[in-house]
Protein backbone atom coordinates (compact mmCIF):
# COMPACT_ATOMS: atom_id res chain seq x y z
CA UNK A 1 0.00 0.00 0.00
CA UNK A 2 1.39 3.38 -1.02
CA UNK A 3 -0.04 6.63 0.30
CA UNK A 4 0.14 10.08 -1.22
CA UNK A 5 0.86 13.16 0.90
CA UNK A 6 -2.84 13.93 1.33
CA UNK A 7 -3.53 10.41 2.59
CA UNK A 8 -0.63 10.57 5.03
CA UNK A 9 -1.99 13.82 6.40
CA UNK A 10 -5.37 12.15 6.91
CA UNK A 11 -3.72 9.33 8.88
CA UNK A 12 -1.71 11.78 11.01
CA UNK A 13 -4.06 14.63 11.80
CA UNK A 14 -1.42 16.52 13.80
CA UNK A 15 1.13 16.54 10.94
CA UNK A 16 1.02 19.44 8.53
CA UNK A 17 2.01 19.33 4.86
CA UNK A 18 4.86 21.71 5.65
CA UNK A 19 6.17 19.43 8.41
CA UNK A 20 5.89 16.32 6.24
CA UNK A 21 7.80 17.99 3.41
CA UNK A 22 10.46 19.23 5.84
CA UNK A 23 10.93 15.74 7.21
CA UNK A 24 11.33 14.39 3.69
CA UNK A 25 13.75 17.20 2.79
CA UNK A 26 15.82 16.49 5.92
CA UNK A 27 15.96 12.79 5.03
CA UNK A 28 14.01 11.63 8.07
CA UNK A 29 11.43 10.04 5.77
CA UNK A 30 12.40 8.69 2.34
CA UNK A 31 9.32 8.03 0.22
CA UNK A 32 9.58 6.76 -3.33
CA UNK A 33 8.71 9.20 -6.09
CA UNK A 34 5.62 8.61 -8.19
CA UNK A 35 4.33 10.57 -11.14
CA UNK A 36 2.08 12.62 -8.87
CA UNK A 37 4.63 13.17 -6.11
CA UNK A 38 6.01 11.22 -3.17
CA UNK A 39 4.53 7.83 -2.29
CA UNK A 40 4.77 6.62 1.31
CA UNK A 41 4.90 2.89 2.08
CA UNK A 42 4.35 1.09 5.40
CA UNK A 43 7.93 1.72 6.52
CA UNK A 44 7.56 5.44 5.81
CA UNK A 45 4.27 5.56 7.74
CA UNK A 46 5.89 3.78 10.71
CA UNK A 47 8.79 6.23 10.58
CA UNK A 48 6.40 9.20 10.48
CA UNK A 49 4.65 7.75 13.53
CA UNK A 50 8.03 7.42 15.27
CA UNK A 51 8.98 11.02 14.45
CA UNK A 52 5.62 12.20 15.79
CA UNK A 53 6.16 10.25 19.01
CA UNK A 54 9.72 11.51 19.41
CA UNK A 55 8.72 15.13 18.90
CA UNK A 56 5.42 15.31 20.77
CA UNK A 57 5.36 12.47 23.32
CA UNK A 58 9.05 12.58 24.23
CA UNK A 59 9.77 16.27 23.53
CA UNK A 60 12.82 15.42 21.39
CA UNK A 61 14.07 18.52 19.55
CA UNK A 62 14.71 18.66 15.80
CA UNK A 63 18.49 18.45 16.25
CA UNK A 64 18.23 15.13 18.10
CA UNK A 65 15.69 13.43 15.79
CA UNK A 66 18.17 12.56 13.00
CA UNK A 67 20.63 11.19 15.56
CA UNK A 68 17.99 8.92 17.07
CA UNK A 69 16.81 7.81 13.62
CA UNK A 70 20.38 7.03 12.55
CA UNK A 71 20.98 4.99 15.71
CA UNK A 72 17.74 3.06 15.18
CA UNK A 73 18.69 2.44 11.54
CA UNK A 74 22.07 1.08 12.68
CA UNK A 75 20.40 -1.12 15.27
CA UNK A 76 17.99 -2.49 12.68
CA UNK A 77 20.86 -3.14 10.26
CA UNK A 78 22.84 -4.98 12.93
CA UNK A 79 19.81 -7.09 13.85
CA UNK A 80 19.42 -8.07 10.18
CA UNK A 81 23.10 -9.01 9.96
CA UNK A 82 22.88 -11.02 13.18
CA UNK A 83 19.81 -12.84 11.87
CA UNK A 84 21.76 -13.71 8.70
CA UNK A 85 24.70 -15.06 10.72
CA UNK A 86 22.38 -17.06 12.99
CA UNK A 87 20.62 -18.56 9.97
CA UNK A 88 23.96 -19.50 8.39
CA UNK A 89 25.12 -21.11 11.65
CA UNK A 90 22.07 -23.38 11.78
CA UNK A 91 23.27 -24.93 8.53
CA UNK A 92 26.72 -25.72 9.92
CA UNK A 93 27.76 -29.11 11.33
CA UNK A 94 27.32 -29.61 15.07
CA UNK A 95 31.09 -29.55 15.75
CA UNK A 96 31.39 -26.13 14.12
CA UNK A 97 28.45 -24.79 16.15
CA UNK A 98 29.94 -26.23 19.34
CA UNK A 99 33.35 -24.61 18.70
CA UNK A 100 31.62 -21.31 18.05
CA UNK A 101 29.62 -21.56 21.31
CA UNK A 102 32.85 -22.23 23.19
CA UNK A 103 34.61 -19.28 21.53
CA UNK A 104 31.70 -16.97 22.31
CA UNK A 105 31.59 -18.14 25.92
CA UNK A 106 35.32 -17.55 26.29
CA UNK A 107 35.01 -14.04 24.85
CA UNK A 108 32.03 -13.24 27.06
CA UNK A 109 33.91 -14.43 30.15
CA UNK A 110 36.91 -12.31 29.16
CA UNK A 111 34.75 -9.25 28.65
CA UNK A 112 33.34 -9.48 32.18
CA UNK A 113 36.74 -9.37 33.87
The CATH fold of domain 5-62? Multidrug-efflux Transporter Regulator; Chain: A; Domain 2 (1.10.1660)
The domains of the chain are located at: 5-62, 66-111
CA distances from 105 to 69, 85, 111 (A): 32, 17, 10
pTM (2 d.p.): 0.78
pLDDT of residue 113: 65
The predicted-structure confidence for 79-113, as pLDDT tens digits, reads as follows 999 999 999 999 999 999 999 999 999 999 887 76
pLDDT of residue 94: 94
Tally: H helices and E strands in the chain: 5, 2
The predicted-structure confidence for 16-59, as pLDDT tens digits, reads as follows 999 999 999 999 999 999 998 999 999 999 999 999 999 999 99
CA angle 5, 76, 67 (to 5 degrees): 70
Amino acid sequence: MKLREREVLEVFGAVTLRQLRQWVQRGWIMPSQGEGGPLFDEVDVARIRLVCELRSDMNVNDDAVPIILALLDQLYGLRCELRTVATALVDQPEDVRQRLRQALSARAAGAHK
